[in-house]
Chains A and B, each alone.
Chain A
Amino acid sequence: MGRGCLAGCLIALAAFLILPQLIVIAIYLELFIVDYLGWSDPVAFINTILLYYFMLEVLMRMFLQKLPSMEISAYLPHPIKIPTLAHLTLTGSLVSPFIIVIPLMLTYFSFTAVQVQAGVVGAWMWYLTLIVFNLFIHYGMITIRRISSERPFIPIGLLLFFSLLHLPMFFDGPVPADYTAWFFNQAMQNPVPLMLSALLLSGAYSSAFYFYTHNYHMDSQGDSSGRFWKKFAVTLPERYGLTGTLVNQEIRLIIRHKRARSILFFSLLFLFIGLVMYPDEEVLGIGSHIMLVFTGLMLTGMFLLQYGQFLFSWNSGFLDAFLAQPVPLRDYIASKYYLMILSCLLLYVLILPYAWFYGLDILLGNTCMLFYNMGINVFLVIRLGMWEPEKLDLESHSAFSFQGVGLAQWIMGLPLILLPGLLVIPFLAFGQGVYGLLFLGIMGLIGMLLRNPIIRLLARTMEEKKYDMAQSFRSN
């Protein structure tokens, strides 16, 4: 209990630290855009990036938004009219992290920067347009998510649409952000964008309302959002034996549970950090190899670090299934190993284009750190995962749930990130950063070559640890 309490305190502390920071950022947003990013017109800048914010929001909602559905079941047995319930559910859905971002970040900005440009009325119109437009996305996404649970091509279509939108840009065609910038620019000057947003909102709300009043029975809303993910069966071919089957099992686990899925999603999203890190001249300068170590480590290993934090806890609901069946622990450990290195390889391939744009140093850094992740960190993750794992509730619907996070999980991340940093320091001291990277890469390569004996060793360790692990998963 002490450890759970400590984890709770850490989370509260993190929120306590992050929230004031966001407020500070919100207050200095104008200054930040002008001084740091070098835009002379901060309002024009915000208007331009709004498109990307909304696109990001749509995508995040696609994967992470909790659909307001089952809450209604508690009221169904009572004499309350269905439309009332639908309104109640839809209003209740507004309690969502996606709703507070814009008020939190842009309220101060509206009544300072925007007000200076457009006057009080203009600032209000701009602000309300944003809020109403955000609500339109909120209810629009609820409807789309409801529909797309039966039709998985809708989210894929949405992704394609966003990408295709930007295609003409590369042939000197129109830039989509210019249009949204124009739209929100108009919002400061005349009420048409606000009215248009209100119209869109009422349309989205009505469709969501229609959907809820016509599909309120438990069985018609139930698990339909899960069914969508059943259709995604990305699995390895059969020929990799029991290990391959276990890897496939774990892939299904990731695809079918929101919490695991959101880790995959964030690992992919995190790849974009390269856009911020790499163009910076400093990063690519002579003393930059330490940055290459950390970016390479995090970009190729994000999934490993995040998912590996709970490596065995993901199986806490059914570890007994593996213990009771003739599943050799060696195969079980090996499946964890191969799943993790597959994730590293996938992320590595996705960030290859960075080297094309920003130089071959990046390729070297990422390749060395890929080897390090695949040869050293992956084994550390597996070994540390056996250290006091906590029961994890896979059914927990929140994507940001901290259930199952214990002190051990917080501490175990440190050596994974700090160790390679410490290892390259001697090389940096002599100005030989490249050799430092190569050293890490070679260490990783040696680890990869020794994978079979190491996996056997880890399996023997688990042979000892399995009783305690299984016991902590059983107790509630």
Chain B
Amino acid sequence: MILAEELKKEYGQVTALDINRLEIPKGECFGLVGNNGAGKTTFFRLMLDMIRPTHGSVSIKGENTAESDSWKQFTGSYLDEAFLINYLTPEEYFRFLAKIYHCSKKELSEYLEPFSDFFRGEVLGRGKYIRELSKGNIKKVGIVSAFFASPEIIILDEPFENLDPGSQIMLKELIQKEQAEREVTFLISSHDLNHVTEICDRIVLLEKGEIIKDLKGDEHTLLTLKTYFQSN
């Protein structure tokens, strides 16, 4: 589904990312962990054709993401607040997405319907701009926009950050449901080892731009990771 080959990003002398080969099959829930500056966000941005690689490429379904746009139709992503048009109300923003993905009004409300619990009535119908919402609610708008229009791939950077405990649990359920029902491929980066080991089938540990560990997600993973981060 996703293939990164000889992918390298350098800023001057500093190597931000250097991945020889990384393949993510369809339906996998792929977790990315690592300290600050390990290259997690850089990897996602390279994938999404938001920065230019120094070398190599990322392809989705065999297509180089820097050369075509077709992958955007089935790839949902939310990395940070710059992914949201923050002077719109959430409704206006979702209507904008509906326009981009050619959804009717009815389809739009069908898409949003499963998220009504997730929003806890604090996001829609409040007459607030996105920028006036709390950090957690902004994150929710971003996450729902990544889930929008039934994508085949969903990329989330630090999705659990700023969410209240209830919402974190709900998000995990949403991810598991999408994965089970529609075989959605997830790419999730997180500092929360508990969450990421709980939901991910596979966890890659990045350090200074390089893949240090490529682990299968099972009951031992959490301990392995904890031991690693304690010793470093």
**Residues in A lying within 8 Å of B, measured CB to CB:** 223, 226-227, 230, 242, 245, 249, 252-253, 256-257, 317-321, 323-328, 394-395, 467, 470-471, 473-474
**Do residues B87 and A319 form an inter-chain contact, with CB atoms below 8 A?**
no
B191: Cβ under 8 A from any A Cβ: no
Cβ–Cβ < 8 Å partners of B82 in chain A? 317-321, 473-474
The SS class assigned to the A binding surface is helix
**Do residues B87 and A323 form an inter-chain contact, with CB atoms below 8 A?**
no
Cβ–Cβ < 8 Å partners of B84 in chain A? 318, 321
- Give CA–CA (A341, B137) in the complex, Å: 37
**Do residues A324 and B51 form an inter-chain contact, with CB atoms below 8 A?**
no
Which B residues from 89 to 143 make CB contacts under 8 A with A?
89, 92, 96-97, 99-101, 127, 129, 131-132
**Do residues A467 and B100 form an inter-chain contact, with CB atoms below 8 A?**
no
Cβ–Cβ < 8 Å partners of A249 in chain B? 85, 88, 96
Instruction: Give min CB distance, A311 to chain B, whole Å.
Output: 16
B170: Cβ under 8 A from any A Cβ: no
Name the residue on B nearest A227 (C-beta).
Answer: B127
Q: Give the total of B residues in contact with A, Cβ under 8 Å.
A: 30
- Give CA–CA (A223, B131) in the complex, Å: 11
**Do residues A317 and B86 form an inter-chain contact, with CB atoms below 8 A?**
yes
Name the residue on A nearest B155 (C-beta).
Answer: A324
**What 0/1 pattern do residues 29 to 67 of B give for CB contact below 8 A with A?**
000000000000000000011111000000000000000
**Do residues A471 and B51 form an inter-chain contact, with CB atoms below 8 A?**
yes
Cβ–Cβ < 8 Å partners of B101 in chain A? 326
Instruction: Give min CB distance, B139 to chain A, whole Å.
Output: 15
Cβ–Cβ < 8 Å partners of A327 in chain B? 100
Cβ–Cβ < 8 Å partners of B96 in chain A? 245, 249
**Do residues B86 and A318 form an inter-chain contact, with CB atoms below 8 A?**
yes
Cβ–Cβ < 8 Å partners of B79 in chain A? 320, 324
5 closest A-B pairs by beta carbon, nearest first, are A326-B72, A320-B82, A467-B52, A245-B99, A318-B85
Name the residue on B nearest A394 (C-beta).
Answer: B87
**Do residues B127 and A318 form an inter-chain contact, with CB atoms below 8 A?**
no
Name the residue on A nearest B11 (C-beta).
Answer: A471
Cβ–Cβ < 8 Å partners of A245 in chain B? 96, 99
From known contacts A326-B73, A328-B69, A467-B51, infer whether A242 and B83 are also in contact, taking CB-CB under 8 Å.
no
- Give CA–CA (A320, B146) in the complex, Å: 13
Contact of B48 among A317, A323, A471 (CB under 8 A): A323
B197: Cβ under 8 A from any A Cβ: no
Name the residue on A nearest B93 (C-beta).
Answer: A321
B77: Cβ under 8 A from any A Cβ: yes
Contact of A323 among B49, B52, B80, B100 (CB under 8 A): B49
- Give CA–CA (A323, B100) in the complex, Å: 12
Cβ–Cβ < 8 Å partners of A473 in chain B? 82
- Give CA–CA (A319, B108) in the complex, Å: 23
Cβ–Cβ < 8 Å partners of B92 in chain A? 252
Name the residue on A nearest B132 (C-beta).
Answer: A223
- Give CA–CA (A320, B88) in the complex, Å: 15
Cβ–Cβ < 8 Å partners of B73 in chain A? 326
Could you write out 22 A-B pairs with CB less than 8 Å apart?
A230-B89, A249-B85, A249-B88, A252-B88, A256-B87, A257-B87, A317-B81, A317-B82, A318-B82, A318-B83, A318-B84, A318-B86, A320-B82, A321-B82, A321-B83, A324-B48, A324-B50, A324-B77, A326-B72, A394-B87, A471-B51, A473-B82
- Give CA–CA (A223, B129) in the complex, Å: 10
- Give CA–CA (A57, B80) in the complex, Å: 41
Cβ–Cβ < 8 Å partners of B87 in chain A? 252-253, 256-257, 394
- Give CA–CA (A257, B84) in the complex, Å: 16
Cβ–Cβ < 8 Å partners of A318 in chain B? 82-86
Instruction: Give min CB distance, A428 to chain B, whole Å.
Output: 46
Cβ–Cβ < 8 Å partners of B132 in chain A? 223
Cβ–Cβ < 8 Å partners of B131 in chain A? 395
Instruction: Give min CB distance, B148 to chain A, whole Å.
Output: 9
Q: Which of A245, A325, A327 has the most CB of B within 10 A?
A: A325
Instruction: Give min CB distance, A294 to chain B, whole Å.
Output: 35
Instruction: Give min CB distance, A301 to chain B, whole Å.
Output: 26
- Give CA–CA (A325, B85) in the complex, Å: 12
Cβ–Cβ < 8 Å partners of B69 in chain A? 326, 328
Instruction: Give min CB distance, B126 to chain A, whole Å.
Output: 12
- Give CA–CA (A252, B96) in the complex, Å: 12
Name the residue on A nearest B70 (C-beta).
Answer: A326
Cβ–Cβ < 8 Å partners of B97 in chain A? 325
Name the residue on A nearest B48 (C-beta).
Answer: A324
Name the residue on A nearest B73 (C-beta).
Answer: A326
- Give CA–CA (A317, B81) in the complex, Å: 8
Instruction: Give min CB distance, B151 to chain A, whole Å.
Output: 11
- Give CA–CA (A179, B101) in the complex, Å: 61
Q: Which of B81, B83, B86, B101 has the most CB of A within 10 A?
A: B83
Instruction: Give min CB distance, B119 to chain A, whole Å.
Output: 20
19 more CB-based (< 8 A) A-B contacts, given A230-B129, A256-B129: A242-B99, A249-B85, A249-B88, A252-B92, A256-B87, A317-B82, A318-B84, A319-B82, A320-B83, A321-B82, A323-B50, A324-B79, A325-B100, A326-B69, A326-B72, A328-B69, A395-B131, A467-B52, A471-B51
Instruction: Give min CB distance, A181 to chain B, whole Å.
Output: 44
